[in-house]
Chain A
């Protein structure tokens, strides 16, 4: 192996031999970009719709029903295929059939690369930021609509029908967004940098995951044009079977998203396993990367079950099978089991990367090593493993075999042990440190504050007797908003404020950042804490009307929610102002982090590291006298932790 790999002549021959191969992407407006993808999606939609009607016309029961689900499904399927074809995702797979290879990627410069099928993980990371924010703000606007309706139990802004569509879209869009909000942008961008890799293992699969994710947005959004769907994000059958064609968008949308999730997890897992730089042993892998590999395991193994569940649902709607139709030999419990077998690992797909970000950021601002590193990593793996064994706690009152209830109560409560490790790690790291309260650090503290409430209310929910009170009400709604929004979304913003200076070379405005943090934190708690009480007082989820005596609490929650919504405007203003309108050049390492990602040049060269770095220790040796050298980057002396000690004492550095 060494002999030939060492011979450059071979390599040059190989590259020159591929020169006549066609290019997968090119320059100019006539090449493939988002515009061609939209055209492809549009044409695909029309073609699929026509095909579905053509096939459907042969079946009297479709022709007579006045509603052709098959046409909707094929339209969406071809739309996604056309979209992928248009963006160029299928060029390489198609070329392979005739045995041809793609040419080495042309390097796009300037803005246009963000609108293309780009294989650079840094570009994909930025594209993902835009993608998840698109999901997030759409879902957020729908949340504002929900809270508007709940201002009064008697005066209605929306019809009951519209309201339930809004609720369902909100839940589904947010779930889709949350499963990628950290893994997509920050995972793709920073994992290779943190492990000293020059590239992803499967850059095409990575880019594919992004563009399917975006396609999933259009698919789930299309539900509104088909009359929406009434099932909430959980899509329970038989309501699913009963629903109109909007349900197809839901089922197919989740299928598309799950393919994207599988692709993203697959690539990240393969990269972390194989592309760690020399010396990057598992005990030196940063905690964020640990969280991402635990998440990748869940993404690759849990999402296929969602894919299968969605496929069966689509077959029920189009091929008239009876998977979820109890009267015909199917079972509505089958959907509940398949869905939650995916759905509970999904919850940890959302939680784990948040823990990873917090673990990564705390040492930087406390100037202390991460406390009990091994326990943190073990906690993440433990959570990932256990998460496959808790799904039936969603079905405690559903009429499942009652023998199962104590068992799932036990496994669910057990999972709070590894989750608790994250608190041990955080508290140990903060203990007697000289903490710099920069914006990312504040968001991390907020994660601990919020997730504590979310986690503890989760213990209440896992207790079967208490679950009788709180299941299906606003209590559980508040619980998962505290974990997902209070945990993950706060962690995402911590990560964004922390890493944007590296991603764009421009620093975020601190004052606006502080405003954003405090408004978001305060109004988040004011919005969701009352919901615990509303839930205990007997308000079920997803209702457009409620008991009259709950109006004060609901109004309070609604007004806080509007302010919470407004706090994101501060973020958007900050983003626009400090990244585009009046960009402030960021110092190379504004937080004095020892993380390997900060030791690269800014802007990061296409191959990240001039030379493959040799890792000499883990990146948490803050404030350590005589700390070992961090990394040998090949040019110049090894980077040393002590070189940061002097500047670390100055909080305004």
Chain B
């Protein structure tokens, strides 16, 4: 570049920009894909973690050339198109500088194509990934085979799960200020402060809250679903690796929001079966005292969990009795 005479200074700028851009983009994209991509958080513990890592990497590989392109342009502006350089040519105004139809149209077409591709890709991945581990509300549409059957059986109290049965395992996540607990409807609906999951199993998380909005974020599992009071927010994932994971609340839920976390484990199917059956027996008395298993739990007439009946009357206005769709015995 230094060989250029001041006269044709900047003539080849565009060509240089494009060449550098292509080289840098290709090199950095390849480096990213192979060196960084496989390690992008949160890892590959579940099907959704794996899928979403792929999504993240695809987005990044597309984003990187955009970043490089604009930054390179800014660098050229700073280093070469700078009035401090005495050899820099004068700015040229006039209609030719005020717009260039080919440049404008190619920009519009290229950005539109990229954006539409991304939207299409995201949609395909969302469906293929059974909702990608995000909360889908009470009536999920992106779901694994057998989910409806398992969920229906769970709420009817007829669900069962055993190792190698290939059944979807429904787990209920109950959030409240400021902790998470978990109920296993296929094992008599016992409640546990730990989230233990079998490996190589489709899990259906049924997330609900007893008070304010929380968000169940099982970080390594790549599951995130808001916990809303009186709403069952369902999210799916399939465990693929043994190990422990963290659960955090990712929706501001009051003073101790920052302290609302615990951890869980993915164990082998037989180990899970042992733990679940023994806990079911051990907790049988406690389970009896719990409200019967339901997708959501409304506050009782005493105004627990944020409800209030300010006329001092303990009779709720609702003609619907407590505990949602299931009446307490």
Q: Bound pair: A and B?
A: yes
Q: A456-B67, A465-B122 are in contact. Are A430 and B81 (CB under 8 A)?
A: yes
7 smallest beta-carbon distances between A and B, as pairs: A543-B258, A623-B93, A472-B250, A399-B233, A624-B93, A465-B132, A367-B91
A467 to B107, CA, bound (A): 27
* Chain B residue at smallest Cβ distance from A230: B254
Residues facing A in B100-135 (CB within 8 A) are 100, 103-104, 107-108, 111-112, 115-116, 118-119, 122-123, 125-126, 129, 131-135
A540 touches B249 (CB 8 A): yes
**Contact string against A for B residues 77-95, beta-carbon threshold 8 Å, 1 for contact and 0 otherwise:** 1100111100011111110
A472 touches B56 (CB 8 A): no
A420 to B115, CA, bound (A): 11
Q: A402-B137, A449-B71 are in contact. Are A242 and B251 (CB under 8 A)?
A: no
A416 to B74, CA, bound (A): 20
Q: Identify 19 residue pairs between A and B in the complex whose beta-carbon atoms are under 8 Å apart, listed by A's number.
A: A61-B312, A327-B229, A368-B92, A369-B97, A371-B97, A372-B98, A397-B215, A406-B122, A409-B122, A427-B70, A432-B91, A433-B91, A434-B88, A449-B71, A469-B224, A471-B224, A541-B252, A622-B93, A651-B84
For the complex, is A627 an interface residue (Cβ under 8 Å from B)? yes
- Segment with Cβ contacts to A, from B40-48, B165-173, B272-280, B285-293: B40-48
| A: number of interface residues (CB 8 Å) | 102
Which residues of A lie under 8 Å from residue B48 when comparing CB positions?
465, 468
* Chain A residue at smallest Cβ distance from B133: A468
B131 touches A402 (CB 8 A): yes
A417 to B107, CA, bound (A): 9
Q: A332-B229, A375-B104 are in contact. Are A538 and B248 (CB under 8 A)?
A: yes
Given contacts A367-B90, A414-B119, 10 further A-B contacts (CB under 8 A): A371-B100, A401-B137, A409-B123, A413-B119, A456-B66, A468-B134, A472-B224, A536-B42, A543-B257, A649-B90
Q: A238-B211, A399-B225, A456-B67 are in contact. Are A542 and B125 (CB under 8 A)?
A: no
Residues facing B in A557-579 (CB within 8 A) are none
For the complex, is A398 an interface residue (Cβ under 8 Å from B)? yes
Q: A164-B255, A410-B119 are in contact. Are A536 and B41 (CB under 8 A)?
A: yes
B250 touches A471 (CB 8 A): yes
| B: number of interface residues (CB 8 Å) | 102
A240 to B10, CA, bound (A): 59
A367 touches B211 (CB 8 A): no
Which residues of B lie under 8 Å from residue A403 when comparing CB positions?
141
Q: A413-B118, A434-B91, A623-B93 are in contact. Are A399 and B136 (CB under 8 A)?
A: yes
For the complex, is B184 an interface residue (Cβ under 8 Å from A)? no
Which residues of A lie under 8 Å from residue B138 when comparing CB positions?
399
* Chain B residue at smallest Cβ distance from A648: B91
B250 touches A622 (CB 8 A): no
Which residues of B lie under 8 Å from residue A388 when comparing CB positions?
none
A396 touches B134 (CB 8 A): yes
B258 touches A651 (CB 8 A): no
For the complex, is A529 an interface residue (Cβ under 8 Å from B)? no
Which residues of A lie under 8 Å from residue B224 when comparing CB positions?
397, 468-469, 471-472
A440 to B297, CA, bound (A): 57
Residues of B within 8 A of A (CB): 10, 13-14, 40-42, 48, 51-52, 55-56, 59, 63, 66-67, 70-71, 73-74, 77-78, 81-84, 88-94, 97-100, 103-104, 107-108, 111-112, 115-116, 118-119, 122-123, 125-126, 129, 131-142, 207, 211-213, 215, 217, 219, 222-226, 228-231, 233, 246, 248-259, 298-299, 306-307, 310-312, 317-318
**Contact string against B for A residues 161-186, beta-carbon threshold 8 Å, 1 for contact and 0 otherwise:** 10110000000000000000000000
A420 to B113, CA, bound (A): 13
A414 to B88, CA, bound (A): 38
**Contact string against B for A residues 15-35, beta-carbon threshold 8 Å, 1 for contact and 0 otherwise:** 000000000000000000000
For the complex, is A521 an interface residue (Cβ under 8 Å from B)? no
* Chain B residue at smallest Cβ distance from A451: B70
B83's partner among A372, A436, A463 (CB-CB below 8 A) is A436
For the complex, is A581 an interface residue (Cβ under 8 Å from B)? no
Which residues of B lie under 8 Å from residue A416 when comparing CB positions?
111, 115
A396 to B137, CA, bound (A): 10
B230's partner among A327, A370, A621 (CB-CB below 8 A) is A327
* Chain A residue at smallest Cβ distance from B120: A410
Which residues of B lie under 8 Å from residue A413 when comparing CB positions?
115-116, 118-119, 122
A238 touches B229 (CB 8 A): yes
Which residues of A lie under 8 Å from residue B88 when comparing CB positions?
434
Which residues of A lie under 8 Å from residue B231 when comparing CB positions?
326, 399
Residues of A within 8 A of B (CB): 60-61, 160-161, 163-164, 230-232, 234, 236-239, 241-242, 320, 325-328, 332-333, 366-375, 396-403, 405-406, 409-410, 413-414, 416-417, 420-421, 423-424, 427-428, 430-437, 445, 448-449, 452-453, 456, 459-460, 462-469, 471-473, 536-538, 540-547, 620-625, 627, 649, 651
A420 to B109, CA, bound (A): 11
B228 touches A333 (CB 8 A): yes
A397 touches B212 (CB 8 A): no
Q: A466-B56, A469-B56 are in contact. Are A620 and B98 (CB under 8 A)?
A: yes
A437 to B298, CA, bound (A): 63
B126 touches A464 (CB 8 A): yes
A541 to B248, CA, bound (A): 11
Which residues of B lie under 8 Å from residue A367 when comparing CB positions?
90-91, 93
Which residues of A lie under 8 Å from residue B118 when comparing CB positions?
413, 459, 463
Q: A371-B99, A538-B42 are in contact. Are A623 and B52 (CB under 8 A)?
A: no
Which residues of B lie under 8 Å from residue A430 when comparing CB positions?
73-74, 77, 81
Which residues of B lie under 8 Å from residue A232 when comparing CB positions?
252
B59's partner among A332, A402, A463, A542 (CB-CB below 8 A) is A463
Which residues of B lie under 8 Å from residue A372 when comparing CB positions?
98-100, 103-104
Q: A417-B111, A434-B89 are in contact. Are A468 and B307 (CB under 8 A)?
A: no
Which residues of A lie under 8 Å from residue B116 when comparing CB positions?
413
A239 touches B70 (CB 8 A): no
Which residues of B lie under 8 Å from residue A464 when comparing CB positions?
122, 126, 132, 134
Which residues of B lie under 8 Å from residue A545 when comparing CB positions?
258-259
A61 touches B310 (CB 8 A): yes
Q: A397-B225, A399-B226, A445-B74 are in contact. Are A409 and B119 (CB under 8 A)?
A: yes
A397 to B214, CA, bound (A): 11
Q: How far is the CB of B261 from chain A (nearest CB, A)?
A: 9
Q: How far is the CB of B40 from chain A (nearest CB, A)?
A: 7
A471 to B251, CA, bound (A): 9
B252 touches A397 (CB 8 A): no
A627 to B98, CA, bound (A): 13
A402's partner among B89, B141, B307 (CB-CB below 8 A) is B141
Which residues of A lie under 8 Å from residue B90 when comparing CB positions?
367, 434, 623, 649
A397's partner among B226, B248, B312, B318 (CB-CB below 8 A) is B226
B83 touches A540 (CB 8 A): no
Which residues of A lie under 8 Å from residue B229 when comparing CB positions?
238, 326-327, 332
